[in-house]
């Protein structure tokens, strides 16, 4: 009776304060994206690199181990960027060298649309002109400069974070079980282990997707088969959006190359079949329940991350969702969030060490 009375008379102020705090945090993440986006990527990289550095520090000085980890991180990022840049550059060169065929395809599409009352030529002349091309070149150049700056800031955060991980862990161990600090300690340790597994599984599935896309496009005679494989590999790191683009782009090139809708439709169907088998069948079984999130949570994380930080947010959205759900599972007041959106095997209440 007393419990019912206390629940009925509970003040809504704490809930309202929590909602306002969430709104303010989201607004800060949006308006201060230059601060929060690099930090998020740096935390993901630290989760990947810290076990390696910790193992190396048992035999080497801390600064030497840190330098080796930073160089390894830079090499991996450079290889990834070079592969993606090479493939996109090759696709662009191919388009420029075969403009007549793409122009013919555009004319056919314009004619077909004008038959339904859609005047494409007027839209093209109004929006797609020389000034539009110059704006695109300027935007691409600015994007490259911002990407380099973003990568440099991320590496600085990674360096500082790797120096502080041990000290932060020792400070958090002072908290008593059941406290928010202890929940953050156990949850962050488990989150780091989950993120390492997530990136390992995502990398294996991306490699498999790239190889299968290369095999399909090579076997069908589609040009740039190696480039399509690399693009599929790179874009597979971005859930939902990446596989969509990796499927649509080769299909458009198949329409231009084979001049038949039947061949393009077959390639489109088989590309989607690859994405379905790898992304929807193999990956969940390899990742297991520990990385399980509800489909609604995955879609929300990808699109909300895109809204906040663009392509970078689409990439980092799911890891952030995994972190939030995992940490929430280790405190009584937030465990309901993990239960709703999927916290794994349901044993999150037991403290784990990473």
Q: Locate tokens 């419990």: which residue?
A: 3
Task: HSE, CB side, 13 Å, CA atoms: give it for residue 15.
Answer: 3
Confidence label for 127 from pLDDT (cuts 50, 70 and 90): low
pLDDT for 217 equals 92
Q: Give pLDDT tens digits for 270-315.
A: 999 998 888 777 887 776 665 667 777 888 888 888 888 888 888 8
Residue 158's Cβ-side half-sphere holds a number of Cα atoms within 13 Å equal to 26
Least confident of 36-40, 163-167, 269-273, 301-305: 163-167
pLDDT of residue 291: 65
pLDDT at 209: 94
**Confidence band, pLDDT 50/70/90 cuts, at residue 239:** confident
Structure tokens at 175: 């908290």
pLDDT in tens, 80-95: 988 888 888 888 888 7
> pTM for this structure?
0.78
Q: Which range is least confidently modeled, 275-279, 315-319, 333-337?
A: 333-337
Angle at 114 between CA 113 and CA 119, to 5 degrees: 100
- Residue 234 CA to its chain's centroid (Å): 10
CA distance 131 to 5: 69
**Buried-exposed string 164-196: b where 16+ CB fall within 10 A, e elsewhere:** ebeeeeeebeeeeeeeeebbbbbbbbbbbbbbb
Spatial separation of the C-alpha atoms in residues 213 and 275, rounded to whole Å? 9
d(Cα 52, Cα 59) in Å, to the nearest integer?
12
The residue among 353 and 178 whose pLDDT is bigger is 178
């Amino acid at each position: 009776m007393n419990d019912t009375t206390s629940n009925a008379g509970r003040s809504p102020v704490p809930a309202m304060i929590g909602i306002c705090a969430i709104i303010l945090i989201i607004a800060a993440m949006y308006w201060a994206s230059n601060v929060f986006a690099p930090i998020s990527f740096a935390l993901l990289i630290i989760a990947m690199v810290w076990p390696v550095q910790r193992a190396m520090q048992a035999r080497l000085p801390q600064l030497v181990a840190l330098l080796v980890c930073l160089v390894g991180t830079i090499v991996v990022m450079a290889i990834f960027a070079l592969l993606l840049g090479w493939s996109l550059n090759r696709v662009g060169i191919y388009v420029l060298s075969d403009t007549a065929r793409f122009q013919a395809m555009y004319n056919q599409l314009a004619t077909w649309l004008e038959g339904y009352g859609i005047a494409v030529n007027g839209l093209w002349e109004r929006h797609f002109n020389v000034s539009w091309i110059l704006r695109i070149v300027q935007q691409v150049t600015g994007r490259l400069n911002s990407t380099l700056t973003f990568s440099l800031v991320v590496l600085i955060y990674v360096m500082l974070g790797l120096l502080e991980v041990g000290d932060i862990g020792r400070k958090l161990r002072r908290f008593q079980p059941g406290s928010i600090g202890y929940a953050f300690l156990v949850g962050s340790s488990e989150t780091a282990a989950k993120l390492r597994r997530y990136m390992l599984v995502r990398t294996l599935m991306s490699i498999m997707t790239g190889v299968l896309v290369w095999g399909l496009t090579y076997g069908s005679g589609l040009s740039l088969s190696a480039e399509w494989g690399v693009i599929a590999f790179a874009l597979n790191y971005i859930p939902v959006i990446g596989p969509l683009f990796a499927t649509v782009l080769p299909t458009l090139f198949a329409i231009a190359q084979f001049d038949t809708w039947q061949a393009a439709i077959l390639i489109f169907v088989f590309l989607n079949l690859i994405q379905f088998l790898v992304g929807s069948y193999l990956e969940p079984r390899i990742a297991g329940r520990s990385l399980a999130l509800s489909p609604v949570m995955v879609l929300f994380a990808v699109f909300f991350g895109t809204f906040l930080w663009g392509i970078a947010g689409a990439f980092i959205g799911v890891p952030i969702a995994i972190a939030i759900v995992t940490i929430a599972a280790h405190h009584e007041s937030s465990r309901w969030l993990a239960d709703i959106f999927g916290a794994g095997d349901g044993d999150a209440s037991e403290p784990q060490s990473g």
